[in-house]
Structure 1
């Protein structure tokens, strides 16, 4: 695997009305969402619930994302390929050293007044069609400076936890490419590493084996889709690509110790509905 350096950091300003529903099977980039007005129901592999005004959230690359606006909503998004595009190596090392002290659970981060003002400036400039790549790069760096200045280290670590690891470029490679292959062997072939080097790097980057991680990804994706309001067992079977009802039943029983219907009922409790 050749290291890839991409300095593409790009902001967008989005406005949704109450009829807006967006769905993406695998996000092509990492996204940081700044919700400046309104609220949405957000359903992903790593977060399921109401996402409200005044919060920011990181969604890792290759996430399943379903967004449903609950009111007129204003949102600024920052997309990027690699965490190294945002943070220098010294900051990444500092964050990684404290990563084990926080939960893997993805949670929104509340905007401090300084970050709220920054986001207002972003939205204003984006409405005025700010298209200069250098401006987008500088503003992404200012975002990191504001986090460093006004947020405790544990909050920064918790926010970036899904992207932290000993091998950040390798971790980005895995997140970007695992949806393209059917198994671990396919990832190894794409990486151009030997099996032993690949497995060593994987354990260093993710803290668990490749097999354990892929099983967790499949389980999280299934659980995320089970959160979708009104989904039936039949629809869950279709969207998760199981060959038969019996195969779905066996997988859910083994992984979650319940039936698909019970899984949907439990997942819906995590999802805010009227």
Structure 2
């Protein structure tokens, strides 16, 4: 990449607490660099600056990316990379897009069918110039988070404003698809597992990846979320169904009634039988 010798940064951002981390990253790797298939812990857009990069994913199986091409991979999707030449590219990691134009984004997501095939997008004149300038900045050293946030807004503005809706529909569809499938998996299985490790194994994830995916999507630790959901379900079953307490205890994965009673006492301040009696007594009082 050609550096502009006439511009020099006069600030030292290395000690600033507002460094941007990995929101926008500039990557440079030699020919032969290989990254085995792994699940993305956030949504990401990959913009090729130089070289040829072989990617392999469900959307882009065996696809070679060239200069000025870019793709999107959704949270939870598997991606494998192999540098066919020396490569340089920029990656934008995000959980939610900057709110530039909510109505436009909703228009994009309203499509309900996946495209027949996914094709890499091509950077137009404006986007290519933006990426060239951004690449120079990212190679200078630590990035300023407020500045990077502004650049992500500019990036989304350029995508939303200078690309036709059908292309954007296809480009962003994986976000909707993977998000819905992951959420469906969570809601179908959270009551069947006893711990995070079991949950991750059931979905084919490593525990670390599963924790990150869940935290990024729900903004709470997975174990805390599971406990909250179990509490909701247990209380509802005790107070609004006629299931036996032993059945409820088994359904939510408790090894014994004493363990279940201890959990209810800690969560709701009373035993399962007493929690059920409260509702029964309340109904009887209401009839008087």
What TM-score comes out, normalization by structure 1 length? 0.57
Q: CA deviation at 1:108?
A: 0.9
Q: Distance in 1 between matches of 2:116 and 2:99?
A: 21
Residues 64 and 86 of structure 1: CA distance in aligned 2, closer, same or farther (over 3 Å)? farther
Q: Distance in 2 between matches of 1:164 and 1:17?
A: 34
CA contact (8 A) 2:43 2:175 kept: no
Query: Any residues of structure 2 matched to 1:1-274 within 5 Å, and which?
Result: 10-48=23-61, 49-83=63-97, 85=98, 88-97=101-110, 99-100=111-112, 103=115, 105-164=117-176, 171=180, 174=183, 180-182=200-202, 190=226, 192=229
SS at match of 1:142: helix
Q: Distance in 2 between matches of 1:40 and 1:71?
A: 7
Q: Distance in 1 between matches of 2:184 and 2:153?
A: 23
Q: Distance in 1 between matches of 2:152 and 2:57?
A: 24
Residues 62 and 100 of structure 1: CA distance in aligned 2, closer, same or farther (over 3 Å)? closer
Q: CA deviation at 1:66?
A: 1.3
Residues 80 and 8 of structure 1: CA distance in aligned 2, closer, same or farther (over 3 Å)? farther
CA contact (8 A) 1:102 1:154 kept: no
Q: CA deviation at 1:156?
A: 1.2
Q: CA deviation at 1:8?
A: 8.7
Q: Distance in 2 between matches of 1:176 and 1:31?
A: 21
Q: Distance in 2 between matches of 1:33 and 1:86?
A: 20
Query: Which runs of no fewer than 5 residues in structure 1 stay unpaired?
Result: 1-6, 196-274
Aligned to 1:241: none
Q: Distance in 2 between matches of 1:52 and 1:86?
A: 30
Q: Distance in 2 between matches of 1:88 and 1:175?
A: 28
CA contact (8 A) 1:8 1:81 kept: no
SS at match of 2:39: coil
Residues 87 and 22 of structure 1: CA distance in aligned 2, closer, same or farther (over 3 Å)? farther
Aligned length: 183
Deviations 1:104-125 (A, max 9, x none): 6432101101100000011000
Higher relative contact order (CA 8 A, sep 6+): 1
Q: CA deviation at 1:181?
A: 4.9
Question: Which deviates further from its counterpart, 36-45 or 129-138?
Answer: 129-138
Query: Which runs of no fewer than 5 residues in structure 2 stay unpaired?
Result: 1-19, 190-198, 204-209, 215-221, 234-288
Residues 87 and 76 of structure 1: CA distance in aligned 2, closer, same or farther (over 3 Å)? same
Q: Distance in 2 between matches of 1:131 and 1:175?
A: 37
Q: Distance in 1 between matches of 2:160 and 2:72?
A: 16
Q: CA deviation at 1:149?
A: 2.1
Q: Distance in 2 between matches of 1:69 and 1:113?
A: 25
